[in-house]
Amino acid sequence: MSWVRAIALDLDGTIASHDVVAPDVVRAVGQARLRGFRVLLVTGRTVKALEKQFPGLITHFDAVVAENGSVLVGLDRHRWLAEPVNRALADSLEQRGVCLNRGEVLLAMSAEHDAVVLREVTDRGLDCVLLRNRGELMVLPAGVSKGSGLLAALELFGLSAHNTIVVGDAENDHAMFDVAEFAVATANAVPSVKEHADLVLEEPNGAGVIGLLGGPIMDGEQGSTSVRRRVRVGAFADGSPTLLPSTCATVMIVGGSGRGKSYLAGVVTEQLLDAGYQVLVVDPEGEQSALGDLPNVEIVQAADSTEADQIAQRLHRGHSVVLDLSAIGPPTRMQLLRDLAALVVELRAESGVPHWIVVDEAHTLIGVEGPLRGVFDPTAGGHLFVSYHPERLCPEVLSGVDVVLSASPPIDQLIDTENLPASSLPRAAFGQAQLLRSDRADTARPFTVAARITAHQRHQRKYAHMTLPQGKGFRFRSSAEHQLPEALSMEQFQSQLHQVSPDTLAWHLRRGDLSRWFGEVLQDRDLATFIAHVERDLVHEQQLQVLRCRDDVSAAIDDRYLVGREPVPAMP
């Protein structure tokens, strides 16, 4: 199913030619609506002019945005989207011989009067916008455009501009192009509109629109990624940005454990959220909870398998959701995800949201028997899968991957590219590293990953609750007074940190034992880096007290792993 849920069409020069809309165009609009698309008419004309020149045309659309975004007609509503332009301005212009078309909100006239109109608006100190549309000039209230009107029309139906295609031909269509996900120019469009578009139709006016409405983009059979909507996730060595498509794409992040996959997934997700996309993050290990600091993002810490409806309701209300599964076991987790998958598929079919589904540990959840396998739809796109075993993903996912972001080691060491069919290879792939193409694996390009907006929390909840295997814990140096057991959990480590003598702690700090354990065993690079600074300070600044080092390390562990728990009392 295509990601498209709405299509907005300009009138003059787009579906109308010489004040005529061909019957075939009206028929194509009707067929698109029967297939479930919302079709909107967005025009600079007044409603009265529409009804006079095109009797009954309004009834063939789900909604009409008239007067260049200032009047909305739809769902039995007819309302202004702004206060009308000052009527005294209209009277004054008419007295100066300017022939006006007075709309409900705007004023329209020939563009040959632009100097006179500008002088009158300036002299009166009015907050208005003068906008050209080929040979016409419109005077609009500030802030009103086809783009703002389109957003108001989409709101009537609970739809997003990220699920919308717009088609236009003239200068006043630029604002509509700016808000919609995919912009299409007719063959007869002015040059600036063609330059602004993602696609230029081969035929002019209604003929081109008919081909679009019945073509492969609307069916999801042809990729329709907007070059204007790509998100930046880093920079190549030459300074050029590393860009990912934000529409109709499946992205995979691969790499070994501790190679930065989750960090990179966080970078991509933050960029998508910042661009206004609605995202569902399935987070098995609780690594992405910091995303909750961003606007309109809710963290749901799953407690049982009955929460699927509540999560779907949050998505339906337009919120992005990070589903933290770290506190529930595999059977409960799988049941919750099976129930949620069915609801997400239904929601995406209805409204196109969430725009992106991000799944960590994807080889388990999107594998052949994975509970989320049903959410994968290559025609809709909007998938980000993170895995250190990509070969375990179901075949349709492997064949539908568009972009691969690969942490070291190289992608060709993680996916058996020789034994996969050619159709299963990614069309393009980036890496931590690398830019791969299916036909030339030697085109890998290194890039520097962008910094995260929010903090990366590597296995935060996982290591806060779990017990490590014997031999993986931290063992403080023994002394005559204290024979401490191996610390196999974060709570045990924190408790022992406050029990050992300052001399013992100083001995470990000078050796770098604490930072090494956090970095190599827990693979928490951020905290390991912080502790390494504390260790170096102790070595280089002799006046720095050991107990101050202990307090700094202890506070960092509390903030990162043990938030909300009772503090561990310090030993005398």
* Alpha helices per DSSP H over 483-524: 490-497, 502-511, 513-520
Given the DSSP bridges, would you call strands 107-110 and 136-141 parallel, antiparallel or unpaired?
antiparallel
CATH of domain 230-449: 3.40.50.300
What's the whole-model pTM score? 0.77
Distance CA 375, CA 383 (A): 9
Q: What is the 3-state secondary structure (H, E, C) of 239-286?
A: CCEEEECCCCCEEEEECCCCCCHHHHHHHHHHHHHHCCCCEEEEECCC
Residue-range domain boundaries for the chain: 1-79+144-224, 83-142, 230-449, 464-561
Distance CA 222, CA 2 (A): 9
Distance CA 243, CA 231 (A): 5
Same CATH topology for 83-142 and 230-449?
no
For tokens 């960090």, name the residue: 263
Kindly report which listed range (167-181, 385-399, 451-465) carries the lowest average pLDDT score.
Answer: 451-465
CATH of domain 1-79+144-224: 3.40.50.1000
Q: Which two tokens stand for residue 42?
A: 């967005």
pLDDT at 465: 59
For tokens 């966080």, name the residue: 266
Query: Any catalytic annotation for residue 10?
Result: yes
Residue-wise pLDDT tens digits, 505-514: 888 998 999 9
pLDDT at 527: 82
Residue-wise pLDDT tens digits, 497-543: 988 888 888 889 989 999 888 887 877 777 888 888 888 877 665 54
For tokens 């930046």, name the residue: 232
pLDDT at 427: 32
Q: What is the mean pLDDT of residues 276-280?
A: 97
Q: Which of 10, 198, 513, 524 is catalytic?
A: 10
Average pLDDT, the chain: 84
Single-letter code of the amino acid located at 103: G
Distance CA 269, CA 393 (A): 21
Cα–Cα separations (whole angstroms), residue 541 to 81, 536, 545, 546: 65, 8, 9, 11
CATH class as words, domain 83-142: alpha beta
